[in-house]
A and B are shown apart, each in its own frame.
Chain A
């Protein structure tokens, strides 16, 4: 089986070291500081070791006493670690901060093995639901409310910041901000059973104007009736699990499909989204992502698959 990767998921340059926002930037700096520290200390240890093993006797004598243990094992680490501790605490305080009223909020709920995404209004009420993609305006912080519907998951979008767990019975917060419009890949980082490996997430940052437009469009239904695929969708019972606003499909178990055609990926961040992959996913979702909660609809004929895929792709 071959899977074409969505272009957004490239791993080079390493996303942790290629920050795209103010919550990842300082951490990347921390990482570089630590790498330099590590390289310097390792070099010093190796030099001391080299002298101890192979050095001329005069050099060996210099490292042979308890003085080396006091300097190398106590004094030096205490100085370096004191600096690192204070530096680390200050970065932590800068990056992590409790959510304030008035910040834009998005609730992301981890489910086995996809993400339910809900955009909230100022009172914390749900405006509109979506799945597997978080859209944010570029250049301003957005608070994610993280919850879980089943087991522990963890949100990780390395270019935008570190990870935060989703724990059943608790609500955690994390802040996202992308400085520029673009698409940022993420993934579930906490092992959540079965196809945990294939639980991806995409963050799409829009310019503020685009974001407003996207939000308006998202709030409205996109469904067109009368196309053959819509009938296949209904007849196959897809609406029992999926919602398409503006139609009778109102299932809640699976991702909302109202605007599925506009998404970057399918199957929670694992397939590019086009008519072919959509048909393939419907026919063989268990082959592509074994163990996920959607059965493979291999009973559908080729024509039916093409129709339903075309219909879903039209839901932009």
Chain B
């Protein structure tokens, strides 16, 4: 499981972030208004949490340099995935400002 997590961890955080933001905005739409500032602040805090998680993931992968063979390759897949996930999470956070 660790090895699968290594490859997909960043993207899993992206998925959690996306689902979380979508649920927050939908819930805000049902219970108050999607324009509500409270929901946006919650979204922002959540996004920051996810960004921290992505960075933690990158640090964890960065520490595993010693590995060779397939695991080194899996680590590279994971690291680039973390990069794409991080950018996507940042983009996903931008709408909160509009």
The interface of chain A, by Cβ under 8 A from chain B, is: 74, 78, 81-82, 85-86, 89-90, 92-93, 98
Neighbour of A78 across the interface among B87, B94, B97, B98, CB < 8 A: B87
**Per DSSP, are chain A's interface residues mostly helix, strand or loop, or mixed?**
helix
Chain B residues with CB below 8 A from A78, complex form: 87
Query: Which chain B residue lies CB-closest to A93?
Result: B98
Separation of A89 and B94 alpha carbons in the complex (Å): 9
B66 within 8 Å of A by Cβ? no
Q: Tell whether, in the assembled complex, residue A89 and residue B87 are in contact, meaning their CB atoms are under 8 Å apart.
A: no
CB distance from A179 to the nearest CB of B (A): 26
Separation of A82 and B92 alpha carbons in the complex (Å): 11
Q: Tell whether, in the assembled complex, residue B91 and residue A82 are in contact, meaning their CB atoms are under 8 Å apart.
A: yes
Q: Tell whether, in the assembled complex, residue A85 and residue B94 are in contact, meaning their CB atoms are under 8 Å apart.
A: yes
The interface of chain B, by Cβ under 8 A from chain A, is: 35, 83-84, 87, 91, 94-95, 97-98
Chain B residues with CB below 8 A from A89, complex form: 94-95, 97-98
CB distance from A89 to the nearest CB of B (A): 4
Separation of A92 and B35 alpha carbons in the complex (Å): 14
Neighbour of A90 across the interface among B35, B84, B91, B98, CB < 8 A: B98
Separation of A81 and B95 alpha carbons in the complex (Å): 14
Separation of A92 and B98 alpha carbons in the complex (Å): 9
Beyond A90-B98, A92-B98, A93-B98, whether A85 also contacts B83 by CB under 8 A is no
CB distance from A72 to the nearest CB of B (A): 15
Q: Tell whether, in the assembled complex, residue B87 and residue A86 are in contact, meaning their CB atoms are under 8 Å apart.
A: no
Chain B residues with CB below 8 A from A86, complex form: 94
Q: Tell whether, in the assembled complex, residue A85 and residue B91 are in contact, meaning their CB atoms are under 8 Å apart.
A: yes
CB distance from B12 to the nearest CB of A (A): 20
Chain B residues with CB below 8 A from A81, complex form: 91
CB distance from B30 to the nearest CB of A (A): 14
